[in-house]
Amino acid sequence: MESSAASYRFVARRTRGILVLPQHKQWLTKPGGKAIIGIDCRSEPASATAVPATLVALDSPSPESQVKLALEPGIATITLNRPERRNAMSMAANARLFALWDQIDDTPDVRAVILTSADCGSFCAGMDLAEAARAKAETGKDILDLLDDPFYERMRRVRVPIIAAMTGHFLAAGMVLAANADMRVGLAGTSGAISEGRVGRGSPWAAPMVAMLPLAILMELITTADMMPVERFHQLGFVNYVEPTPDAVRARARELAQRIARNAPLSVNVGKAGLLASVALGAQAGGEESKRLHHAVYSSEDAQEGPRAFIEKRPPRWQGR
């Protein structure tokens, strides 16, 4: 963000940090926390109140262009679209992705999500370190303190399965997004890494990966920060499929999403929740929680529709209830 920029656009969202305008020692929004869109802060009435917000220059790409959403029957495709920055995550992109998970959870027709990126050699190269450095210089705060969802944990609570279609290398935040997905398709010849050790950062988000990779392998990834070939991740079961081209990666992810979307949505969503409960709670407690969650499946209309469609030799008409 250049200090000479004449005007700014606020992106409305909740956050713990307040970025500081170089000429004005606070961010201004109207009372009630509503963001000022496309208005020069210096002309805002003095009665405005300072509250946390996110700022981007007016000439910066919009959050919607940095993280795109496409909807089709049963499937939502989210595309990280910052190829000029190797799809590194900006603050605006983080806020946009955080908001999209709520939108998807509020859209019953979505039964599977594909998370992919613009082709540039990297699925996601991590956070935007240049932006992080500017934020630190202007606010004195670490970039993680300025984000609603610094480790993309909201992604792990999305009701439907998420498939990461990784069309390039995946490291740092790219590895976070891959790990927080439910299934992964990788590009042949690419690599992934938990690379925070190279730049003095940390990886507390990697703790859930003990259920995804052998501990010794995970320990090596964290302590060496070395790149590991996607083929090795595939051998270890972290990656479901490896494809030869970015288009083939997306095609495989789409085929997988279509197979998910044809099934009873309650069975799919509760099945996912039950498995994640077992990871979080352990096999015994997780199994009990899974049985509790499945009560809604067994008592649903879809539980009657499936057998009825089989007997009548027709495709089932799922209601999701």
pLDDT tens profile 269-293: 999 999 999 999 999 999 999 999 9
Helix axes 265-281, 283-298, angle to 10 degrees: 160
CA-to-CA separations, 123 to 71, 117, 143, 161, in angstroms, rounded: 21, 6, 21, 19
Residue by residue, DSSP assigns 38-71 as: S--GGGS-TT-B---BEEEETTSPPHHHHEEEEE
Averaged over 246-275, what is the pLDDT? Answer: 97
How far apart CA 242 and CA 271 sit, in angstroms, is: 25
The pTM of the whole model exceeds 0.85: no
The H or E element spanning position 151 is none
% residues pLDDT > 70 (the chain):
81
Averaged over 284-312, what is the pLDDT? Answer: 92
Across 81-150, where does the E strand assignment appear? 112-117, 122-124
Across the chain, where does the E strand assignment appear? 8-11, 54-57, 67-72, 75-80, 112-117, 122-124, 162-165, 169-171, 183-187, 191-193, 228-229, 241-243
Sequence-distant (6+) residues with CB within 8 A of 199 are 129
- For residue 60, what pLDDT is reported? 65
pLDDT tens profile 138-187: 999 998 999 989 999 999 999 999 999 999 999 999 999 999 999 999 99
- Better-scored residue on pLDDT, 54 or 260: 260
Q: How confident is the model at residue 117 (pLDDT cuts 50, 70, 90)?
A: very high
Q: Letter for the amino acid at 236?
A: L
- For residue 257, what pLDDT is reported? 98
Residues linked to residue 116 through DSSP beta bridges, in sequence order: 79
- For residue 59, what pLDDT is reported? 47
- For residue 171, what pLDDT is reported? 95
How does the average pLDDT of the chain come out, rounded?
A: 84
